[in-house]
Amino acid sequence: MKTILEQLEQRRAGARLGGGEKRIASQHGKGKLTARERIDVLLDEGSFEETDMFVEHRSTQFGMEAQRIPGDGVVTGRGTIGGRLVYVFSKDFTVFGGSLSGAHAAKIVKIQTMALTNGAPIIGLFDAGGARIQEGVEALAGYADIFLQNTLASGVIPQISVIMGPCAGGDVYSPAITDFIFMVKDTSYMYVTGPDVVKTVTNEVVTHEDLGGARVHSQKSGVADGAFENDLEALSEVRRLIGFLPLSNREKPPVRDSYDDPERDEASLDTLVPANPNQPYDIKELILKTVDEAEFFEIGPDFAKNIVTGFGRLDGQTVGVVANQPQVLAGVLDIDSSRKAARFVRFCDAFDIPLVTFVDVPGFMPGTRQEYGGLIKHGAKLLFAYAEATVPKLTVITRKA
């Protein structure tokens, strides 16, 4: 006869298996880690405390009462990154394709609420097929609850989304409200409606990858702030990003010991900027030579490359860097670069991160394409963001302004 503890451990072992060994093998076969393996990589070893491990869906329709799997397609809990508290939810594609039921949504909302109450970042790992079809409106109501929490937490705690498989339908909008979206190349895609619906409605034939792959969103649409080679790289980069950020807007960004002398002279910067204003140079070289130990976490490196945004440190203190890139379109400001930089500046302002701006700009991009696209309104977003920001702002004009 098993003791209660043994029975509990047996239940836990069952829950850890999610949708079963066959589906886990299929997940690995696609080059993806499972929901739990991802959490293990993301968090400090042994720090994960799971919540709601045995929650099951409540549906009694379409034969669902016979299919209940503990956890219901999402693993939730808290842990640490570099010893600092974070909250996490990780969609489990092996359980009903990670789809969102009422119970699944309630698990996410609970973790969102805890993160907001306790003032710590929340990281969502997405790999799912959207609303659980069998649940209909109950699932849709769950989305509304999640979006509300995302909105309430905006500017209060950092919210990070990592897309590591399908992210379709209602699942795309929670990441879209968060601060940063990262994707994994080749295995992730993100769209409101998939290729089949697109074909039916517009007669357009398009693949998952061409509709919403990591390259599309990190280079063309700007929906994603970065694309990584695989799950491991994506998760370790999120760990690195967290190292720059405060846990919430109620505390200062972390200060790290720096081995870089703040008085350091960088002689090569004397010759980096060509005297001829038409000759380009790489502003990223200047950034890397300025920040501590040449460590820079770039946000949106492949989108609107005419402006560079990202986090670095000066004397151990996090700063947000915004810089025109003379190497791309002569560093001109256009719709995309204004949107990209405005969003970044507003994030820094919300989280008390000082701004360092390197300016070398010929002005705003002329032409009908830009004017028809709303350059006036999008350009104003950048002006508004700087004017509104109350963090320290330091501007270096490297050549022309």
Name the site residues for ligand HXC (rule: CB under 6 A).
96-97, 99, 129-133, 140, 143, 166, 168-170, 194
User: Shortest Cβ distance from residue 99 to ligand HXC (Å)?
Assistant: 3
- Cβ proximity to ligand HXC, 194 vs 379, nearer residue: 194
- Cβ proximity to ligand HXC, 207 vs 395, nearer residue: 207
- Cβ proximity to ligand HXC, 42 vs 146, nearer residue: 146
- Cβ proximity to ligand HXC, 121 vs 194, nearer residue: 194
User: Shortest Cβ distance from residue 104 to ligand HXC (Å)?
Assistant: 11
User: Shortest Cβ distance from residue 140 to ligand HXC (Å)?
Assistant: 5
- Cβ proximity to ligand HXC, 114 vs 140, nearer residue: 140
- Cβ proximity to ligand HXC, 132 vs 381, nearer residue: 132
User: Shortest Cβ distance from residue 75 to ligand HXC (Å)?
Assistant: 16
User: Shortest Cβ distance from residue 65 to ligand HXC (Å)?
Assistant: 15
User: Shortest Cβ distance from residue 169 to ligand HXC (Å)?
Assistant: 2
Between helix 375-388 and helix 335-350 the angle, nearest 10°, is 20
User: Shortest Cβ distance from residue 223 to ligand HXC (Å)?
Assistant: 16
- Cβ proximity to ligand HXC, 104 vs 381, nearer residue: 104
